[in-house]
Amino acid sequence: MDTTRRSFLKTAIGTGSLVAAGGFALPARAAEFQYKLGHPYPENLPVHTHALAAAEKILKETNGRVDIKVYGNSALGGDTQMISQVRSGALQFYSGAGVIVSSLVPVAAISGVGFAFNNYKSIWTALDGNLGAHIRGAFGKAGLFAFDKCWDTGFRQVSSGTKPVKTPADLNGFKIRVPVSRAYTSLFSALGASPASINLAEVYSALQTKIVDGQENSLAVFAGAKFFEVQKYLSLTNHLWDGSWLLANGAAWKALPPELQTIVAKNFNEAAVAQRIESEKFNLDWRTRLKAQSVEFNDVNPDEFKAALRKAGYYKDWAERYGPEAWSLLEKYAGKLA
């Protein structure tokens, strides 16, 4: 066999092509279902790495029939754009915070009521139980399929470039970046702050140019987005917990045969549980690592903030908005709030 032919065959095999009897190279068969999954989180976070791992398992277990490409760090647009895309079908999967997708499904933000949860056990009991089932049902009515297991993005903390936030009074007039969601704006407005809704990909610049004084996020996102470069103070407020719901366009999900749906759901749900464990550890580890970056930490008394929220009518307002059924499910797991 001459050198040219050996080189040709080596290239064909290396690129996954098949060589027909007549000598023509035939391309490898493309996946039957070629889908995309978009999310806003930095690619060094467990949300991204576990989604990638699940996509690889799905490709293998479906014998190449389902190929899901994962795009992080808002590569496919901000949350607002991706929500629009997953609704239209231009994007088949989207992973985003409940308080963000509440623009489409209001009850999705109920797990993000300010200071409602104080530990992971109560959160996962609620979202793997009746409260989660109620939220998933609402997604279904909006034409989206929500996977059984919600992913973790961690308890959220307040950072500042000007002063530590220790009491509700420290938030008076404080310009703080929040996600594009009423759940956040109402919380910080009730605490006397001046919230500004900015997509995650634009936050670093807003902090650097002092358009806002601070922001709030999980430690993992704070670190992954390198906000420590422009923020000195970090208050462990645990003011809100939110998870990331993995959603599928309803038509794209129904297009998958039942046996493929089973494989996709199994792998994404298993990945979510593994991600929860790593995410909690990830956030704890970052406390030590951020101190090495000269970030100054401080604790707060959550009861002071709850009292301020009750006085402002925050809990009463949200109880009325969500209605008695959803609110009673929240208080079943979180305890009395309003």
Give the domain ranges of the chain: 1-28, 31-334
Half-sphere exposure of 238 (CA within 13 A, CB side): 16
Residue pair 296/173 in contact by the 8 Å Cβ criterion = no
- Encoded tokens for 332: 């079943």
Question: In angstroms, rounded to a whole number, what is the distance separating the alpha carbons of residues 120 and 214?
Answer: 26
Pairing of β 25-26 and β 66-71: unpaired
Render pLDDT for 68-109 as a digit per residue (tens, 0 to 9).
999 999 999 999 999 999 999 999 999 999 988 998 999 999
* The two structure tokens encoding residue 13: 């095999």
Contacts of 169 (CB under 8 A, 6+ apart): 192
DSSP letter string, 188-239: HHHTT-EEEE--GGGHHHHHHTTSSSEEEE-HHHHHHTTGGGT--EEEEEEE
State which CATH number among 3.40.190.170, 3.40.50.800, 3.40.50.300, 3.20.20.70 fits the domain covering 31-334: 3.40.190.170
Cα 194 off chain centre by: 24
**Residue closest to 262 by CA, chosen among 273, 271, 250, 253:** 253
CA distance 222 to 211: 18
DSSP state of 241: E
Identify whether the C-beta of residue 145 lies closer than 8 Å to the C-beta of residue 124: no
> pTM of the entire structure?
0.82
Q: Which residues of the chain have pLDDT under 50?
A: 1-27
| Alpha carbons 282 and 278: distance in angstroms, whole number | 6
Entry field: residues in the chain = 338
As given in the structure block, the two tokens for residue 80 are: 């607002």
State both tokens at 88: 């239209």
23 with 198: CB under 8 angstroms?
A: no
pLDDT tens track for 213-233: 999 998 988 988 999 999 999
Please give the structure tokens belonging to residue 272: 């979510």
Give the pLDDT of residue 28.
58
Q: Can you read off the two tokens belonging to residue 97? A: 């915070």
- Which one, of 112, 240, 239, lies nearest residue 168 by Cα? 239
Q: How far apart are CA 220 and CA 289, in angstroms?
A: 11
> At 163, is the secondary structure helix, strand, or coil?
coil
